[in-house]
Structure 1
Amino acid sequence: MTSPLDRNPTLTLPEFKLESGITLHSVDVVYKTWGALNAERNNVMVICHPFTGSADVHKWWSPLMGCGKAFDTTRFFIFCANVLGSPFGTTSPLSIDPSTGKAYGPKFPATTIRDDVRLHKMVLDHLGVTSVAVAIGGSMGGMTVLEWQLCFPGFVHRAIPIATCAKQSAWCISWGEVKRQIIWADPAFMGGHYPADRPPTYALAIARMAGLLSYRSPESYEERFGRRIQDQSASHAQHAIQLSNEEDKEYPYYETQSYLRAKGASFVGTFDANCYLHIIRKMDTHDIVRDRMPLSLPGPNSPTPDAEADAALAALLATLPPRPLVISISSDILCPPREQALLAQNIPEADLVVIDSVAGHDGFLVEHERINEAVVQYLEREFPELYSN
């Protein structure tokens, strides 16, 4: 083994051309690594973070990290990088545009998940990585896992996409639109040109609350909160941002309200509204078939557009490396199990594990023990050379 590399570096690239054709200059990529590269520099695990996650995997998937666990740094060199548009250091709306000397704000150009993969590949090249053993991620991270194998065929040998999809659904795009409208409607948003010290915290908190409704299942809210009432004066949400009004005092204050308000209030301290909108748009563009599979010319015997799209997707999935581990959460309403079943049915020799849980989409973040067990069993089978001692 070589010595561990720098743990919290930033790689700055002179320029980076986006899928749109726009070139960004002086592009920062913040990433983290754990473990050490082997002599072949191929014992690499790439973790792809979800929507509001970051390269700091300990903050959102820590129960999976450690010796004997899924993210075992004694066996793998683990890499995770922040995506373009995130507020955690990689170039984003918060970054300074070299051409103006001011923050990009809403003028930050559109980016795609494919852009993130190509950018992160440049970081791995910088680190001297020769190939990736396995890529793993949930939700948006799972989208990124699929794109890794398509953008760089043969570079990533195995994949573990969790609670994800081959293309963003109309349902998810609709949820994104609701969040956008909430933020746009806040006068403090100012078309995205808000001062750094006066961001649209109210709208961002409400958008986060809306998102939390889709991240969990109705059963999980009923099980966790039911109709229990809480003393509003004792709510910790009141210490951060006021999301209630005078009218609320005339009605019961339910625990589920307190939970949503507290989560919304805490979120505005860590995220940025322009970044939030940018990444939602990024996820909307996700479609692994886009610009990859030719469309047939229309004719009397042509398949319907839906049938043609389904056939193109199946054909593309069949080209992916064999034996991925696909994981579903049974109660997921954002990326329901049928979408992971579609992946498993068409990628050669895929394993599908469905975790029975009421946690909804967020099950990939909370069902630690069962996900860890499935991932470790898979890695031991697929990489016996790394588990021989």
Structure 2
Amino acid sequence: MDPQIYTAPGPFELETGHTLPELRIAYHTYGRMNAARDNVAWVCHALTANSEVADWWPHTVEKGRFLDPERWFVVCANILGSHYGTTGPLHVNPATGRPWYGTFPSFTIRDIVRAHRLLAEALGVGRIALLVGSSVGGFQAVEWAVMEPERIERLALIATDAKASPWNIAIDETQRMAIEADSTYGEERPDAGMKGLAAARALGLLSYRGPEGYNLTQQDREENPALHRACTYQQYQGEKLCRRYNAYSYHAILDAFDTHDVGRGRGGVEAALRRIRARTLVVGITTDIIFTPAEMRRLHGQIPGSLYREIDSPFAHDGFLVEYEQLNALLLPFLEEKA
């Protein structure tokens, strides 16, 4: 299903001081907004996902699930800088008549959220009944809940945090180093830096899946001991991303990831999180090494009146994509309880 496109009126000023002469936002919706306009569920997506939630988050946008389109008007907007329709490095810079590529202006998580707000206004969305985000999507969700506390009724934060940690940033920098080591990166063509992108993805995947996930699924077969499944898996995952993404968008979004600090200019993280008025559910994953359970419990402790739950999974950070049955079992009761 192709996304819908919203074109914002006029230039879009970025927190970094740059300006985008034009802003296009790609988005998908499921279900219908009711007459009272109080059934909006907004999903903020992660790093290389798109706005088609049903495509990348299995068994969530289905009848009886927490994003049931018969109950909710589900909205997901593709993030700024992405490869999937929203203005990004492969779009044409009106000032030059050529794609931006490496000159695409730097932006922040707050800029992504401000773009979401523009789309929400254009769609006639007022109060958001459920705002949900995992990973980088959670960065957006927590920022939005602080930016507009009265707008968000319920907030689900899954495997995420209120600020990019030094560990997060180190993972991102290692991936950027891999991209920049590709001698073609910087050339003005959409397939520049692809070998670097493949290596970056393979590096990132180590942190997404963790040792338990690899050891469970990538054991070598006895009939061919010279062929290491873990090696072919890494190569496959790198090549797979290269078939659907570009190095410039990946690099730009990693940069934006690292700017995430909900406390910036708000008196620090704890002061910022105290602004949240939404009924909040924080979900950790037992084996996540990007956003550890201890960090998730800390986030829970800083959000007034929040609940904390855990997904038990060997698949580390990617558990939020794989363990959809557990996720539905956590989210459905949360949506039914009284505030």
Q: TM-score, with normalisation over the residues of structure 1?
A: 0.84
CA distance in 2 between counterparts of 1:267 and 1:70 reads: 28
Q: Identify the residue that residue 201 of structure 2 maps to in structure 1.
A: 208
Q: 1:378 aligns with which of 318, 328, 334?
A: 334
The aligned counterpart of 1:76 is: 72
When structure 1 is superposed on structure 2, of 274-283 and 335-344 the one drifting more is 335-344
Whether 1:193 aligns to 2:149 is no
Residue number among 4, 9, 12 corresponding to 2:4 in the alignment: 9
Q: Does the CA-based 8 Å contact 2:50-2:78 persist in structure 1? A: yes
Distance in 1 separating the partners of 2:139 and 2:271? 18
SS in 1 for 2:249: helix
Cα gap change, 1:31 to 1:178, in 2 (>3 Å): same
Question: Equivalent residue for 2:46?
Answer: 50
Q: Deviations over 1:57-91 (max 9, x none)?
A: 12210311111101111111110001111000100
Identical aligned residues as a percent: 37
Counterpart in the other structure of 1:325? 281
The AA in structure 2 aligned to 1:286 is H
Deviation at 1:7, TM superposition (A): 7.9
Contact 2:220–2:227, Cα closer than 8 Å, also in 1: no
1:118–1:151 contact (8 Å) kept in structure 2:
no
Seen in structure 2, the aligned counterparts of structure 1 residues 348 and 11 have a Cα distance that, compared at 3 Å, is same
Q: Are 2:89 and 1:96 equivalent residues in the alignment?
A: no
Cα 1:222/1:100, change in 2 over 3 Å: same
Compared CA separation, residues 121 and 230, structure 1 to 2 (3 A): farther
Q: Retained in 2: the 8 A contact 1:322–1:347?
A: no
For the residues of structure 1 that align with 2:74 and 2:277, how far apart are their CA atoms? Answer: 21
TM-score by length of 2: 0.96
Alignment-mate amino acid for residue 9 of structure 1: Q
Over 3 Å counting, the alpha-carbon distance change for 1:149 and 1:230 in structure 2 is: farther
Contact kept in structure 2, 1:328 and 1:354, CA below 8 Å: yes
1:230 Cα offset (Å): 7.5
1:281 aligned onto 2:275: no
Could you list the structure 1 runs, at least 4 aligned residues long, displaced by more than 4 angstroms after superposition.
Answer: none
Q: Give SS of 2:34's match.
A: coil
1:229–1:252 contact (8 Å) kept in structure 2: no
The secondary structure found in structure 1 opposite 2:120 is helix
SS in 2 for 1:141: helix
Q: 1:50 to 1:230 in 2, by over 3 A?
A: farther
Q: Distance in 1 between matches of 2:87 and 2:134?
A: 22
Please list the CA deviations of residues 285-339 of structure 1 after superposition, one character each: whole Å capped at 9, or x if unmatched.
Answer: 001101111xxxxxxxxxxxxxxxxxx4223222211530110001000111122
Matched letter for residue 333 of structure 2: Q
SS of residue paired to 1:364: helix
Compare 271-280 and 112-121 and name the one that shifted more. Answer: 112-121
Report the 3-state secondary structure (helix = DSSP H, G, I; strand = E; otherwise coil) of the residue aligned with 2:23.
Answer: strand
What is the Cα deviation at residue 210 of structure 1? 0.5
Give the letter aligned to residue 170 of structure 1. Answer: P
Whose Rg is larger?
1
Residue 117 of structure 1 deviates from its aligned partner by 0.9
Residues 33-53 of structure 1 deviation map (CA, whole Å, 9 limit, x = unaligned):
111111121211100000111
Q: Is the 8 A contact 1:42 1:132 kept in 2?
A: yes
The answer to whether the 8 A contact 1:200-1:273 is kept is: yes
Query: In the alignment, residue 116 of structure 2 is paired with which amino acid?
Result: H
Gaps of 5+ in 1: 1-5, 232-250, 294-311, 384-389
Structure 2: distance between partners of 1:40 and 1:230: 62
Contact 1:58 / 1:65 at 8 angstroms: preserved in 2? yes
Greater Cα offset, 122-131 or 268-277: 122-131
Number of residue-to-residue matches in the alignment:
338
Q: Which residue does 2:131 correspond to in 1?
A: 135
Please list every run of 5 or more consecutive structure 2 residues that lacks an aligned counterpart in the other structure.
none
What's the counterpart of residue 300 of structure 2? 344
Partner Cα separation in structure 2 for residue 93 and residue 109 of structure 1: 9
Q: Is the Cα–Cα contact under 8 Å of residues 69 and 376 in structure 1 kept in the other structure?
A: yes
1:10 counterpart letter in structure 2? I
Of 145, 149, 152, the match for 1:149: 145
Q: Is the 8 A contact 1:46 1:78 kept in 2?
A: yes
Instruction: Please tell me the root mean square deviation across aligned C-alpha atoms, in Å.
Output: 1.7
Deviation at 1:177, TM superposition (A): 0.9
Q: Deviations over 1:198-251 (max 9, x none)?
A: 4222111111111110001211111112343675xxxxxxxxxxxxxxxxxxx9
